[in-house]
Structure formats: C-alpha cells, structure tokens
Structure 1
Amino acid sequence: MYLRRLSPLLPTLLFLLVVSGCKKMLSEEGAPPDNTSIAQIVQTSIEGRVLNEQLQPVQNAFISSGGQIATTNEDGHFQLEDIRVLDDAAVVTVEKYGYFRSYRTLMVREGESQYVQLQLLLKNENKISAATGDLIPFPEGTLTFPAGAALTANNDAYNGTMTVRSIYINPDGSAVADQMPGDLRGIDKNNKQTGLRAFSMIVFTMEDAAGAALHPDPARPVSFRIMIPNELTSGAPQQISLWHFDDATGFWKEEGQATREGNDYTGTASQTGFWLCATTFPQITLTVHVQDQQAAPLPDTRVTLLTKNGFIPAYGFTNADGVYYGKVASGQPLIMTLTDNCSNVLHQQEIGPFSTTAEISNMSVTVPESQTLTINGTAKDCDRFNVVTGKVIVNVDYRNYTATITNGNFSVTVLRCSGQPANVTFTATDNRTNKTSISTIQAGSGTITPVLQVCN
C-alpha cells in the first residue's frame, strides 16, 4: 500500500474538491444542540508529546493538568496518571522558557488514557516605551500600543521600557492543530458552548523591565490588524466575533467584535493572551471506535474531521483504546481522515450528518503490514506468576504507547514509519507489588510475543 507523505489537511482537501462541487460556509451563528451533556469529573490519564517549532522533541517542559505536574523526557514525552478532570474539558498546560505557555483542551473518558500532541510557539520580542506607545509590525499584521496605557498587576500606571512578545498563528496552517490553544470550542455571550470556525489568531504578552507581567488599560486597549489567510478570505464576513482564550476553563470566551478591512481583521484587545476571530456553529458529541484490519484498536492516531461544505475542521487523536471522542459540526456531512505520525493518510471516509450525540462502533482501517508492529506480550511477577493488573509503556521510534496488563496479558498495535528493526523498550509495572522492570528488544514489523518479568 503506497501512502504519500503530505500535510494532514492537504490530502483531505484534494479529496473534497472531487466529492464536492462547491464550497458553502456553515451559518455564522448557531446555538449548540440542547442535548449537550453536563460535564462531570472523571479519573483518567493523559499522555503525549511536546515539540518545538522545528518539530523536534522538547525536554524538561513542565506539564500540568488535574492538579498534577510532570516534565517531558528526552523524547518530549509526558504522562499524567490517575488525574481528576472534567470529562468535557480537561485542560493540559505546557510551560517552557522562551516559548509561549501552551494549552490543549480535551474531552476524556473515565479510565481511558488519552493522547495529545502540542507544538510550542517561539516568543518574538520587541522593546518599546510604555510612556509613548508604539506600533509593532510583523509579516501578518500590526499591534498598536497607546501611550501610557500599560498597567501593573496592581493597576498602577507603568511608563518604563516594556517588552512585548507576540506571534501570529495561521488558522489554516498545517500545524495549527498542535499550535492552537483549546480545541476550537467557545462560550458565547449567552454563556452557551459553541463550535468555532477560526479566521485569524494572535497571542501577545507585556512585561516591565524586571520581567513582571503588565496588562493593557481597559479604557485604552491594544489595537490589532491581523491577516486572513488567502484560503479563507472568500468566506470571511465583514463583522466577526472576537474571542479571548480562558486558560482556567479551556474555552474561548466571546469578547466583542472585529471588522474586516481588505484581507485583514482589525479590533482591540483589552487583555494579554490569545485572541481569535471566529464564526460559530452548533456541535454534537461524536465517538468513533477505530480498529485495524485485524480488529485491534488503533491508538494515538491523528484524526481530522472536516465539514464537506465549508471545510470547517475539528482535530483530535484516538486514545489508548483506539477511540476518538470529541465535538463535531451538527447536521453536516463530515470527512474523517486518519493519519499516522509520519503524516501518511491511513483512511478517509465520509460520515454523518449527525444531529444528536452519535457513536460509530467499528471503523475499520487497513494499515500497511510492512509498517505495523503487533505486540502480544505476557508479564510475570518474581515468582513467575501472571501479573494480575498492571501497565506497560512501550517506547518505539521515540513514541510511547500504553497497554494494560490483565491476568498476565497485554497487547498493543504500533504503526511505524518504517519496517526497519528498532529498539523497543518495555517499562512494565505490577499494580499489586508496585514493582517496575525495564527491558529492550529489537523488532521491526509483524507480531512479537515478549515475556516480561516484573521483578525489580
């Protein structure tokens, strides 16, 4: 099976150009369906990777969610186990010096480990006088700071040298799924949850000479002009809702409007952080169980869901059990695309439309056998009895995959970029004894049956 290596959205768009003769935007306004469930606190685990602007792993980044803190290893991997979070909006926060703080909002399920990937954004730095203000240009627009409009945390006027850090985020770029904060869900002015169709996005911060945070005077906010990507200009309205990311809830919050001027949006920002120009649309909750041709769950696989009309995206990953769980556009045909971690398209299928909560129980994906490693292992304790309950973390190709040990058995399917032999490292834990063992073998593709002894 030959798979072309492309950005996650490009093959989908090519497919849609064939199956759809015209592009129609969804309604710019829309209330979420009334069947939105009430969020509940669940116990779950979240694991994933943090990458930099060159798609290289970021080591020693701080990850927090559900009151727990972890750090990334040399592969950029992190794991937060048995955390208590809202199932509708579990917020993962990433911090690393030199980068903007990053956020991802996830829908999670009780007891099921969810994978996530984040790409950090470098801070572009400009120093200006807070007393006189200034205009900061960048390739995609401008930020204008009024004279004497910077305030300290105590709301005192600050008129010294001010450091402004900012970056534009292309909402139509190939990396936006990993770069954007949240998950393109917002809380509108009526306090209702809604889906967001992004047209332009920016983030900025303000600091005094000592590095302490500053914020704009609400009476004299920061003005912005930010570009609408060429691919989105035909559907960009003249007036558009303006949204600010709330890192406490993990949702975007409606904060006024922006106006289109040519191929840019202009508006004002009353506080620092992430800002988004976006229209709204109603959503429903979708669950999809994804499996390979051998009926094995396909874990940690990137999912892109585009509306057939308008190409409005939703993003996510399957969890450790091969389940995608998230919000998608209501009442619209969808194109669901699954890609591996090498950006190869594995599967593409039209689904929907769905007007209420929906579930697809067995989406079968044919994966290339030459790049598939199936692990059917056993785990023994010090006395060579089966480990009754436990966990195995499998590391291969700088990626971690989690499998549950049940009565001595565990299994996981790993889709690799190559069938060449590589180190496969198993970190196994016995829940009863709290003992852990680490072992490494060489494997390529096919099926392997390692026997692990958890006895350290």
Structure 2
Amino acid sequence: MKSSTIIFSFLFTFLLVFSSCQHDDGSFRDGEQQENIPDTFSQYFGNTINRDFLGTVVNKNNLPLQGVTITIGNETAQTDSNGVFIIKDAEVNERFGYIKAEKAGYIHGSRSVVPSEGTNKVEIMLLEATPVATISSGTAETVSLPNGSSVSFDGNFIKEDGSDYEGSVNVIMHHLDPVDEDMPMQMPGMLYAENEEGAERMLQTLGMLAVELRGSGGEDLNLAEGSTSEIKMPVDASLMGIAPATIPLWYFDEANGYWKEEGEATLQGNMYVGSVSHFSFWNCDIPAEAITLCVAVRDESGNAINNLSVNITSLTFGTRGGNTNENGEVCGFVPSGETLELIIYVQYSCDTSLLYSEMIGPFNADSSISVIVPNHPVISFETIRGNFLNCDGNPVSNGYIQLTYGNQSYTEIVNEEGDFEFQFLSCSTNDAFGITGTDYDNLTETDHLNFFFTSPVTDIGTIMACNSVEEFVQYVIGDNITVIDFDNINATFTEIPNNIYPITHMLSINGSTNVDNINHNYNLKVWAHAPDFIGLYNTDDTSFIASSGVASIGILSINTLGEVGEYIDISFSGFHSSQNGVLPVHGTIHVLRDE
C-alpha cells in the first residue's frame, strides 16, 4: 500500500506543467523595490524554534525501511519496523527545517520543510546505492543509463581528505524524472535554492541526476580538482514545450539542505547537457521569487481538519501541494506576486474528491490564510479519539497511531498522556476504518483493530500495545477506573436453539480480573437477529454487567466477527451505575472466538 501519510508537510510535488516561464536574471518587475539580499543565506531562515517531526522512510517499492538514522539539528532517531521515526522538540528555523536520512546500502536521503506549529510529517524514499558501472582511475569513460542519461569521467578522482585515488571506481547513478509520482519523495531537500547572487528562489525542475562515486573499499570519492564531467539528462516529452534553450544548473548542498546555482545546461534535442566539477544531486531548474504561505483549513464549526490535500496552482509555475497536519495547517513556498488557485481535496475517492477552490493572492511577503470548508453531501466530518496504553496499563507517551481507511493510511503522534485524535473526512459509502498503535520507545504495537464511525465523534476507548498478549477486554469507568483483563476470557457466538423469531444468535463475552484488590466480573451479551451483524447494533438488546455496577451501553459496534480461533473486535460506550453514582464508561474488546 502506498501511504499518503507518510506525504508530509507542504512537500512540494510537481504535478502540472505550465505554458510559459522566465529565466531568473535577478531583475524585478517595473515599480517593485530592489531585492534586499542578506549577507548570509541562512538569514532567510528566520529565528530558531523547536518543532515536532513524524516521518516514514521507504524504499522504491514503498516498503518500510528499519534502522535508518534520522538527523534533525542535534537530534537523532532510528526508524522502527514500520519505517517510522519520531523526533520531538527539534531545533529548526521559522522558515526552514532540514531532515537527513542515512542507511548503509542507500544513497543519502533528506527532506527540507517550512515547519508548522503542529506535527511536521515527512516521507522519504531512499534510493539503493547499487553501482550501475565500475570504471578505473586514469581512464576516460562514460557511464549511461537506459533512458539516455550519462556522465563522462576523465579518470582523475580524489578521496574525502583531498588525496588522489587510484583503483576501481563504483558509479552509482539515478535519474529522477519530474513526471514520476515518486520523485518528490526521492529528491533531496525541497525545491528551494540559493541563486548565484545569494538570493532565495523556489524551483521548477525539468530533471535531476544523482551521482555518487565509491572506491573499492567503500570510501566516498569525487572529481579531482580541475577535472570536469559532462552530464546529460533527458527531458520528458510532456515538458519539451516549456524547456528553455539554456537552463541554470543547481547542485544539492547536503551539509545545509538546499540547492545552489552553479553553471547552466543547454538543450540538445531532448537532452540537457552541462559540465560539472563535483558530484551530488544535480538539477535542471527554472527559478522564481518565493514567499512562504501557510494555509489553515477548518470545517464550518471551526474544527481543524487534518490529512487533506491542499494544492496551489500558479499559471506560470505549475501546481504544488501538501497535506494538512493535526492543526489543519500546511506551509510551504509559493511564487511571489502572482494570483494563485487554491484547491482542497480529500485523499481518497468518494463520489467526489473536490472540497473547495478559490483564487488567492497575490502575496508579496510571507503570509497565512484560513479557509472554511463547507459541509458536503457525501463527505462527513469525523473525529476519532482514544487512549493508548502499554502492557502495564500506563500511557504510551512516545508513540503513534496509524489509521487505515480504504487504501490510504494516516499517522498521528500521541500526546504524553497517550491520548490521540484524528479530524478526518469519511465517505458516506464507507464507514469502516482500522487502527494500529505503536509504542515507539518499547517497540511494541497493538494488533490491527477494526472500527466503524459513530459520527460525528468516534471514541474507540483504550487500545494497548502488548505484543505478548493475544486478547484483552478493557474498559474505563469515569476518568480513572481502568479495568483490563488479559486472561480468563471466554467468547462465544452461538445459534439459539428453539429460538423465538427474530432473535437467532447470541454473542457472549465474559470473564473476571482483579484491579486494586477488587475482583471485577464482566458479562457482555448481544442478541442478534441474523448470523451476520457486523456494524453498529441495536443496543436495546445489549447488557454489560460488572461486579462494581451495571453499565447501560449507548453505542456498541461489532467491528470484526471471526470464525472460531479468529478475532472478535468490539468497541462500546455508555454509562455505568454503581454506589459511586452514574459515570461514563467506554471500552475495547479484542478476543479470540472460542465457539
């Protein structure tokens, strides 16, 4: 499954081409003030701030990569078995944050973002460091890819310390095509650059070439001082109409996380051809003046909506987009001084995916706007919330929840109390979703639990990350009485003999546990009018009895009803009456069917 989660934080994606372009010559339109270029490029980044990051690293097959080292400022982390990393309170800048990803066997990956106040989500696709050719020092050779991309070498190479290298050279090379939907995850940083005058620019790419050189001992190599290589990159046929005769070349500065202008390439047939003196990622791009724009998306009640796709289209610079975070916000660079089209989509197909569109701008300075998305006849605004505990019954303070809906997956961090919440849009034709929780510190996770929306708010209760536990019954009475049972659980779904129509079957789950030296017995029965009753059920036929009182179930959802030896998943909520009064109760049941 390709995750749109793991597309995080106004990571700009080239989606469309545009009909005209201008070469960046450092000049400004008539009547505009002369651009003020700072002494150092980092002055564009703004003040130092601290932000939270949640990301996923995958390979070219969109499979998660474990053990990837992630670096943000002075903070580091490792991806888990889901390819997920969490770094909280990382030091970044107001307009720029840089995330690096490294793993043996892959070329270095990265992502740069304009940090938002909520969780900043990123997805990185690492490319394998598999040599496409082995050449020898002292010999002029050319290495080509099947699509015609090529690099020529004069045979002179140096090591990282500047000393000469002699021997075999492994050439690792990847061409990144703008029309490939995976390119935004594969490319380093974001399309943000420093031009030759030291000014910031956003970029439209017509193609990238990644080249890494390794010695026979695995050491990093580069071209010797005074040596140059000719590089060739093909231009996709759909982009030839806008490809200029000459285009600036930009290389990626891995130390700082942005592109730098150096030289130019000329269009020869359908190939851009240029000369470079060192290797990194090289990029053929058209630059434009840029400002940062943050878009906050709310529903008509003022609730933030996350996991929406927000696209910004410039008539002269194409379309870029990203997904809203838990604050309903997404930020990134857009062209300065242009009227733009804002379009908001859901990330899956209902009867329609378009939610909202309007013309915005122009913006000549960093800006923020708010958008109210109107109610929609086939799309519902949902809130999904719950609490995440570890095996000891304590909150998971550093973990994440993955919600699956249709063929999409979404990820959110839990807070220090283990609470989580998704503001989500669902289709009227599909009210089923799944939840998996992962304790990032202890490397444990829940099973995949199935639920149904109880619009507008679905409280799934408490879920537990405990890999050694096969089944559990858990319920919370009031704010602090949590009852958890891992053993002595009996779950049956049986036909009622000599039944009186329309009741034909009964689901029964019972057991006992001890909490704070108090024995809790429970017995949940659901009478069914048919053998298949997955979904929200008639709660008039439902009872839940515990030794501390009696619960009146207001909402009960049978999410999964497996065969004998398979799982039954139930979520419920209501009110619990006892000598302590009437208190709210909600619970989650994940048990193996015994009969």
Do the two structures share a fold, i.e. TM-score over 0.5?
yes
1:279 maps to which residue? Answer: 286
Between 438-447 and 99-108, the greater mean CA deviation after superposition: 438-447
In structure 2, relative to structure 1, the CA distance for the partners of 1:367 and 1:412 (3 Å cut) is farther
Q: Shift of residue 197 of structure 1?
A: 1.6
Residue ranges of structure 1 left out of the alignment (5+ in a row): 1-7, 17-21
Residue aligning to 2:328: 322
Match of 1:353 in 2: 362
> Could you tell me which residue of structure 1 aligns to residue 266 of structure 2?
259
Q: Say which SS state the counterpart of residue 177 (structure 1) adopts.
A: helix
Choose the corresponding residue for 2:127, options 103, 112, 121.
121
Of residues 297, 306, 311, the one that matches 2:304 is 297
The 2-side partners of 1:285 and 1:9 are apart by 12
Partner of 2:373, secondary structure, is strand
- The separation in 1 between residues aligned to 2:442 and 2:177, in whole angstroms, is 46
Distance 1:375 1:113, change over 3 A: same
RMSD value, Cα: 3.9
Evaluate the alpha carbon distance shift between residue 391 and residue 352 of structure 1 in structure 2; reply closer, same or farther with a 3 A threshold.
farther
1:247 to 254, 262, 265: 254
1:237 aligned to 230, 244, 250, which one? 244
Q: 2:83 aligns with which of 76, 80, 84?
A: 76
Q: What is residue 130 of structure 1 aligned with on the other side?
A: 137
- 8 Å CA contact 1:143, 1:222 repeated in 2: no
Q: Return the alpha-carbon distance in structure 1 between the equivalents of residues 224 and 59 of structure 2.
A: 33
For 1:399 and 1:361, the matched residues in 2 are separated by 23
Cα deviation 1:65-87 (Å, max 9, x = unaligned): 12222222232221111111122
Deviations 1:387-438 (CA, angstroms, capped at 9, x unpaired): 9xx78732222542135579x9863224579946454245699xxxx99997
Q: Which residue of 1 aligns with 2:503?
A: none
Q: How far did 1:227 drift?
A: 0.8
Instruction: Give the SS at the match of 2:239.
Output: helix
Amino acid at match of 2:362: P
- 2:454 counterpart of 1:443: no
Higher mean alpha-carbon deviation, 35-44 vs 146-155, is at 35-44
SS in 2 for 1:298: coil
Per-residue CA deviation, residues 306-326 of structure 1 (Å, 9 max, x unaligned), is 312342x43433232111111
2:48: which partner in 1?
41
Q: Is the Cα contact below 8 Å between 1:300 and 1:318 reproduced in 2?
A: yes
Find the counterpart in structure 2 of residue 206 from structure 1. Answer: 213
Q: What's the CA shift for 1:28?
A: 3.8
C-alpha separation in 2, matches of 1:367 and 1:41: 40
- Which AA in structure 1 matches 2:135? I
What pairs up with 1:192-203 in 2 under 5 angstroms? 192-203=199-210
Instruction: Give the aligned partner of residue 223 of structure 2.
Output: 216
Provide the secondary structure at the position in 2 that maps to 1:141.
Answer: coil
Aligned match of 1:4: none
TM-score by length of 2: 0.64
Write the distance in 2 (CA, Å) between the matches of 1:118 and 1:416.
27
- The separation in 2 between residues aligned to 1:9 and 1:107, in whole angstroms, is 11
Q: Is the 8 A contact 2:300 2:372 kept in 1?
A: no
Give 1:207 shift.
0.9
Q: 2:473 corresponds to which residue?
A: none
CA distance in 1, matches of 2:82, 2:380: 21
Change (3 A) 1:341 1:128: farther
1:354: Cα distance to partner?
2.1
CA contact (8 A) 1:222 1:270 kept: yes
Q: Which deviates more, 77-86 or 114-123? A: 114-123
- Match for residue 5 of structure 1? none
Match of 2:21 in 1: 25
Q: Highest Rg: 1 or 2?
A: 2
- 2:105 touches 2:130 (CA, 8 Å); kept in 1? no
Opposite residue 411 of structure 1, the aligned amino acid is E
**How far has the Cα of 1:294 moved from its partner?**
5.2
Greater relative contact order (Cα < 8 A, sep 6+):
1
Give the partner amino acid of 1:46: F
Give the match's secondary structure for 1:231. helix
Aligned to 1:362: 371
8 Å Cα contact 1:29/1:280 also seen in 2: no
The structural deviation recorded for 1:187 is 0.5
Q: 1: CA distance between counterparts of 2:130 and 2:96?
A: 30
Residues 405/122 of structure 1: CA separation in 2 closer, same or farther (3 Å cut): closer
Moved more, 408-417 or 157-166: 408-417
Match of 2:104 among 97, 104, 115: 97
Aligned residue pairs total 431
SS of the residue corresponding to residue 314 of structure 1 reads: strand
Structure 1 counterpart of 2:458, which letter? Answer: I
Q: Which moved more, 1:175-184 or 1:209-218?
A: 175-184
Q: 1:301 to 1:72 in 2, by over 3 A?
A: farther
- Preserved contact between residue 9 and residue 174 of structure 1 (Cα < 8 Å): no
8 Å Cα contact 2:399/2:437 also seen in 1 = yes
Task: After TM superposition, give the deviation of residue 139 of structure 1 in Å.
Answer: 2.7
Query: Are residue 413 (structure 1) and residue 423 (structure 2) matched?
Result: yes
Contact (CA 8 Å) 1:135, 1:142: kept in 2 or not?
no
Change (3 A) 1:337 1:164: farther
Secondary structure, in 3 states, of the residue corresponding to 2:305? coil
Give the conservation status (yes or no) of the 8 Å contact 1:30–1:281. no
Q: 1:378, CA displacement in angstroms?
A: 6.8
User: Is this contact kept in 1: 2:250–2:261, CA < 8 A?
Assistant: yes
Alpha carbons 2:53, 2:86 under 8 Å: kept: yes
Could you tell me whether the CA contact under 8 Å between 1:148 and 1:158 is conserved in 2? no
